[in-house]
Structure 1
């Protein structure tokens, strides 16, 4: 059904759109190349004047597109990335994440990444990397409708469909729509996963530029079956058909599962849903002005004082389901006692959150809208429903403050913000963030340093509450405190980026078994150093290297590889005018470490001290290309699983943890195609 729908969309698009014939010109904040239109530091169009008469000479880019975007709550204009050398730019899962064996299952970063948001948190984050969020929402400005279609087909009928569209109905009103669907039948039994993501945005500003609003609607659904890992890992060495699907898993009905690429239902596993509706609007007081060119007059407005209101309504549900639980396997593998086999387990928590935030913003310099001071107060109302029967209501009152200044000469970029929870369920929580970025010149690049400190309440999952999720030791835990110091040096001219992060953590909350939560009161530190560099080997050969080094002090309950590195050696270039090519090998390696285990019942990776994994180097071959607006990606992944002892089988699997093997040879073929109306 999904394939047919995609084919219909492509056929309709090829009739009504003219992507191949229309040059796509993407402009950012710094100018427009050869165009006679540029933009000021607020993204407003300004026509260049060189004595030519625009009424007598046709603009040679009249049929092109000018498109740029800003992330929500940002003032920086950005352009669309058309590069092809890094597949993970378009694939939702970054290279430094691992899953339980296939895309769509619970994901965890191999880099230290503590949750650093104050206030209420339900506690479920294993599918966050697949979801649309408010923070990664883009607001576009475009002169012509722009559409991108993507379809990826992988081994075992893995599918990823992505559709995005944006257009300006008028110069002051833009809307965009995004849809992403993925379906993975899985390599093991009871491992199918499916994700549905929808996002709609709208941005409107009145002609006099005094009133403006931003609207975001997001819907995410994650449905992932859980198998608890293999019952006997040693049987991987004696597979009759070299198919791990032959093996029995710890959860799910033994022998009853079938692999169906069109089945997205979950019999044993987790189903998470969340919906967000955010509406931000403001009214400005300031000074009117205008810009007169040889043929056009642009109305300008410089705000000095802004009154802003943000409404954020969120609903979420977290459900673990096992429609035919086996009491023997639950007791044997997870130490959970059930009254009998065949019972239905259905654990569900639901939340509704309504936040009203009122803010005042002051702009000290009328010619620099990237400099402002903001102060606000917010009220959050929470309502939880547990097992569809019990309900509880909570509230939070918190204050916010922010200062930003990206100087007009583009030398300094300063950001400072904070939150303090004054009263309510999470009273005493706070967050502080300061970042200063300095331009060192075109030859030397940029240097950025910063500080972050978060003091947060324990997630609701582990508090002494009525949540129906199985946690053995709910009770009173102290607030977790994380301090992060960071520095980064970036030189685009040399394709070099150096980074350093230092974490100081107290009262660290973690799990160390399938149901047991713990807290580490002692202070511990984590140091993370990183390097990214492109090395030109010859005219067409490039070496991209990324290296991460992580070191902890003492014996904290944190499992991290000492070294994680990815290297890509690629043959690249522009051939035959319109062909851009990048092909080569991608290598990823991490040093042996005691990888976390996973609890399917509460959706948490948990700390373990006994089993260490030592994997082979991951080897992927890739062929990426772009022809005008068409991008193609062909990949052969996990070539390292080749087992010469058994002929030409790809059966030497790496492991995610002691009972979760990774996939063997995996192919992916994907297309990304953009259209301009």
Structure 2
């Protein structure tokens, strides 16, 4: 704790000093402003400031009235554009479209399933293959809430830039996001990002008088980018500290004589778990740097270091085991498993009162390679080396020390004069045990692509040890093959977006109805077709997306709703030529399916057959507004509650958020 206070103090002093000075950037006022190495170039207005340049080429402030600070003077770029030699700068987002979607499910177009509250455990609704090969930890229920390398915005600012988002989301949910960026001089920028997520419990234990908080999440990130005067060397880096705390509830206790739908009508519901909690904290250091000798030959390197500690504790384990929430129990220093049963001869066994699970993981990864481009052709080759350690304090025999994995990769991209594009990439381990292939053709009317990945099961799937879950053993690689096609068709004010997607999974690793790891011997096939359609005329607009999914899954291991739909209707208004307003309704529907349940002891979603998540249409009313650089929204979530039923379940045992009124503020400051 003292270390965190010390770090925050140092950073605060740094940025308080930065705010006392002003330095210009070399970002262009408009158009594409990236040179060949992906950094902003100097604009014509700033050339006059060269007279004030120091001998090292760094420029002081020309604080004249010609400089206008705002969204056009402050732009950002992403690391992936620098890596791929794309000349791209992004404007600061000032539009009001969709700003009311503050929670992580709706901002991701409802493609995720959480536990009905902001910051709770979350997973994709549709199957999602791993994004990289190699042995990963596998505790991913909260990783969506942390910063990722491809999400970090690197700025080159003309003035201090601040972005503040505050949302008292209703239903005792709060979201705060703070972003500050500041150029030290024309070559070096430093930024700070802070994210805070809090939420209170939705299930209340009437016997408890303690803390009612459910979620407490912190993200603290410092990032920086630097470029030499001759634009030969560039550096991007960030340090992220993430700490997620959750008071886990396990779901609702179903009273005698009631079913899950009947529980929705009750004002107060009791949770299964009352003294269980999770803490997941990590530290990530990421560095990317490159040297541009020639356009066709550049050297680049990625350096990543991550340390992570995941803990879960339940001091009421014995009582929860008696209810059947935990399927098995182990006595201390015993490998004998006791399955929960109504038979008293089983429950008379001595079961430990508490359950504790802990995993420590460190990963050091270096990716070094060459890249370049000539006219429309780009290439990239790399060697990636990673060394990881895994520690289970409860079972030292499961520990892994300094495990080394090496990979080789090749990426090719070709742009044609008619704006079509073809790219392909391949990466494989040097022992030929892991493989990833990806490719796509992007045409004027049709985009077609495919991928294949063969990668090991996660560490949590390979080895777990605590009072209720124990297994170890090598699993086969999970192999995923995917082919897809999509297009955009424009007919005046109407835009159609048909798509088709086929996925085949071999040796699928999953968690069964007892939350124990298993591996399928049969292949699983998933077929999905989609249709998006947008229409705009005058002040009216509507955006819609529908997916229909079916599986060739005889064992029903992949639980996906057959019908998935999003829809929005909106009207744009202008009040007194200053206040922009967009108001309307948003709808979301998923058909009935046996959604996966959540087991907090191992931070995994698993199969369940007890509760059918009924199909339900949810409607939200919203009004998004902007005046100058301040955006405000008001949202009446689940406005149709009581019209089509008492509500719905977001996950087994966890009801979705009820009717609540939320509002939020997005505030951009450029000086």
TM-score with structure 2 length normalisation?
0.80
1:376 aligns with 2:377: no
- What is the aligned counterpart of 1:400 among 385, 390, 409? 409
Alpha-carbon distance change, 534 to 469 in structure 1, aligned in 2, over 3 angstroms: farther
User: Which residues of structure 2 form unaligned runs of 5+?
Assistant: 1-11, 21-26, 46-50, 52-63, 206-212, 332-349
Q: Would you say 1:361 and 2:371 are equivalent positions? A: yes
Unmatched 5+ stretches in structure 1: 1-8, 18-25, 32-37, 50-54, 253-266, 287-302, 441-445, 645-650
**Equivalent residue, structure 2, for 1:624:** 624
Q: Aligned-pair distance for 1:385?
A: 1.7
State whether structure 2 residue 244 is matched by structure 1 residue 222: yes
* Matches of 1:126 and 1:160, distance apart in 2: 19
* SS of equivalent residue, structure 2 residue 391: strand
Partner of 2:190: 175
Distance 2:246 2:383 in 1: 38
Whether 2:292 is the aligned partner of 1:284: answer yes
The yes-or-no answer on 1:146 pairing with 2:152 is: no
Give the Cα–Cα distance (whole angstroms) in 2 for the partners of residues 401 and 414 of structure 1. 14
Does the C-alpha gap of structure 1 residues 82 and 459 become closer, same or farther in structure 2, counting only changes over 3 Å? same
Shift of 1:27: 7.7
| RMSD, aligned α-carbons | 3.3
CA contact (8 A) 1:580 1:626 kept: yes
Please show how residues 264-275 of structure 1 align to structure 2 within 5 Å: 267-275=275-283
Contact map agreement 2:321 2:329 (CA 8 A) in 1? no
How far, CA to CA, are the matches of 1:581 and 1:89 in structure 2? 16
Question: Corresponding residue for 1:263?
Answer: none
Is the alpha carbon distance of 1:153 and 1:47 closer, same or farther for their aligned partners in structure 2, counting shifts above 3 Å? closer
Does the Cα contact within 8 Å between 1:28 and 1:77 map onto a contact in 2?
no
The alignment partner of 1:103 has SS state of coil
Q: Closer, same or farther in 2 for the Cα pair 1:237/1:522, shift >3 Å?
A: closer
CA distance in 2, matches of 1:133, 1:330: 40
- The secondary structure found in structure 1 opposite 2:136 is coil
* In structure 1, distance between residues paired with 2:550 and 2:385: 40
2:519 alignment counterpart: 519
Aligned to 1:163: 178
Q: Which residue of 2 aligns with 1:415?
A: 423
The equivalent residue for 1:547 is: 546
Q: TM-score, normalised by structure 1?
A: 0.80
SS of alignment partner, residue 626 of structure 2: strand
- The alpha carbon displacement at 1:415 in A equals 3.2
Between the aligned partners of 2:660 and 2:325, the Cα distance in structure 1 is 30
Name the structure 2 match of 1:509.
Answer: 509
Are the aligned partners of 2:449 and 2:485 in contact in 1 as well (CA < 8 Å)?
A: yes
Q: How far 1:351 moved relative to its partner?
A: 0.7
The question of whether the paired residues in 2 share the 8 Å contact of 1:472 and 1:517 is answered with no
Matched residue, 2:149: 134
- 2:338 match: none
Residue 559 of structure 2: aligned partner = 559
Measured after TM superposition, the shift of residue 235 of structure 1 is 7.8
Asked if structure 2 preserves the Cα contact closer than 8 Å seen for 1:211 and 1:281, the reply is yes
Is contact 1:620–1:638 with CA below 8 Å preserved after alignment? yes
Deviations 1:412-451 (A, max 9, x none): 344322221114xxx611211112323x3xxxxx643222
Question: Does the Cα contact within 8 Å between 1:461 and 1:471 map onto a contact in 2?
Answer: no
Cα shift at 1:329:
4.0
Aligned length, in residue pairs: 591
Q: Does 1:335 align with 2:334?
A: no
Aligned residues of 1:461 and 1:469 also touching (Cα < 8 A): no
CA deviation map 1:440-478 (0-9, x unaligned): 3xxxxx643222111011111122x46558545533321
1:321 aligned onto 2:333: no
* Deviation for aligned residue 1:587: 1.1
In structure 2, the CA distance between the partners of 1:517 and 1:239, relative to structure 1 (3 Å rule), is closer
Using a 3 Å threshold, how does the CA distance of structure 1 residues 495 and 139 change in structure 2: closer, same or farther? farther
Per the alignment, residue 344 of structure 1 pairs with 354
- Say yes or no: does 1:672 pair with 2:635: no
The 5 Å alignment of 1:176-255 reads 176-189=191-204, 192-232=214-254, 234=258, 243-244=267-268, 247-252=269-274
Within the alignment, does 1:499 sit opposite 2:499 as a pair? Answer: yes
Task: Give me the whole-angstrom Cα distance separating, in 1, the residues matched to 2:224 and 2:44.
Answer: 30
Kindly indicate whether the alpha-carbon contact (under 8 Å) linking 1:418 and 1:430 is maintained by their aligned counterparts in 2.
yes
Task: Flag the 1:452–1:521 CA change in 2: closer, same or farther, 3 A.
Answer: same
- Offset at residue 114 of structure 1 (A): 3.2
User: Would you say the 8 A contact 2:196–2:217 is kept in 1?
Assistant: yes
